[in-house]
A = this chain, B = another copy of it.
Amino acid sequence: MSSIIECIPNFSEGRRPEVIEAIAEAIKSVDDIQLLNYSSDQSHNRSVFTFIGAPESVKEAAFKGAKKAAELIDMTKHRGEHPRMGAVDVIPFVPVKNITMQECVNLTKELGERIARELSIPVFLYEESATRPERRNLADIRRGEFEGMAEKIKDPAWAPDFGKAEIHPTAGVVAVGARMPLIAYNVNLSTSDINIARNIAKIIRESSGGLKCVKAIGVMLEDRNLAQVSINMTNYEKTSLYRVFELIRTEARRYGVHIVGSEIVGLTPMNALIDVAKFYLQLEGFDDKKQVLENYLL
């Protein structure tokens, strides 16, 4: 059985199509890589690529993408709404099939070592690959962004895991790490009051005492005039989609508000949805591995 990894690198370029295409070409130039999609955000000035393949191929494609970004993106000229610290900002590896998290961690370390050595970009290991607890969270590593990183990296507490304590002058620094699949999940409320979405987001997110592995903010869906709880689920095995959905439903009741719909942005592993079905159908003794037909085809 072959092994499959998913890689979702983020690049600090969302406006120049020729740069985005050049990165896509670099990734696709590696044999056996399936580039599932890539999308750019103008105001964030940022692009997200998603590709899958065998471990060694994914490592090679991630390196080639990083190299191309370092060639074509100058962070001293980059402006955008999304926090960022490097031309290739973050490179997550996600185990998909026949591979453990620990094997993914090892691969990110090999990739990080090579990026530092060949591209002279300092590398921070994050999430499951993190070498210290305070480096698990990407936001903590990125605090200060590209502009503050030249100073920050000289602090011994923020010495990079690979490379010298000196940013690449135009490509900055990069975070590389193995993690669980992330599910981008939004729940739309029957109100145009963004404060209700914000209050609910605060209740459900881990950082303010809510559900484990849930990040959430309240935003406005301007075109539909609806308030939305916008969520990142960082580990659907620890906190399932249905639990988030039901907690939002419950909390919304306080305001006489109900859920008008929800959406998953981008990809989700089938198991995240099968968990939901198991809950609502009150399924007894269901064995995903043996009873879901597709598990015999993967």
A interface vs B, CB < 8 Å?
A: 4, 6, 34, 36-37, 52, 96-97, 181, 188, 241-242, 245, 259-264, 266-270, 273-274, 276-278, 280-286, 290-294, 296-298
Residue among A266, A276, A277, A298 facing the most chain B CB atoms (10 A cut-off): A277
Q: What CA separation (Å) do A286 and B261 show in the bound complex?
A: 11
Q: What CA separation (Å) do A269 and B291 show in the bound complex?
A: 8
State whether A293 and B96 are in contact (beta carbons under 8 Å apart), knowing that A274-B273, A274-B274 are contacts in the complex.
Answer: yes
A-B contact pairs, 14 of them (CB 8 A): A96-B297, A245-B280, A259-B282, A262-B282, A262-B283, A263-B283, A269-B292, A269-B294, A270-B270, A270-B292, A276-B276, A276-B277, A277-B277, A294-B298
Q: What CA separation (Å) do A29 and B276 show in the bound complex?
A: 39
Contacts of A280 in B (CB 8 A): 242, 245, 276-277, 280
Contact of A284 among B36, B262, B268, B269 (CB under 8 A): B262
Q: What CA separation (Å) do A262 and B261 show in the bound complex?
A: 26
Q: In whole Å, how far is A220's beta carbon from the nearest beta carbon of chain B?
A: 17
Q: What DSSP secondary structure best describes chain A's contact surface?
A: mixed
State whether A286 and B264 are in contact (beta carbons under 8 Å apart), knowing that A242-B280, A276-B281, A294-B294 are contacts in the complex.
Answer: yes
Closest 7 CB pairs of A and B: A276-B277, A273-B277, A261-B284, A280-B280, A270-B294, A261-B282, A273-B274
Q: Are A260 and B277 in contact (CB under 8 A)?
A: no
Q: In whole Å, how far is A135's beta carbon from the nearest beta carbon of chain B?
A: 27
Q: What CA separation (Å) do A4 and B4 show in the bound complex?
A: 21
Q: Are A296 and B261 in contact (CB under 8 A)?
A: no
Contacts of A188 in B (CB 8 A): 284
Contacts of A283 in B (CB 8 A): 261-264
Q: Are B267 and A292 in contact (CB under 8 A)?
A: yes
Q: In whole Å, how far is A50's beta carbon from the nearest beta carbon of chain B?
A: 9
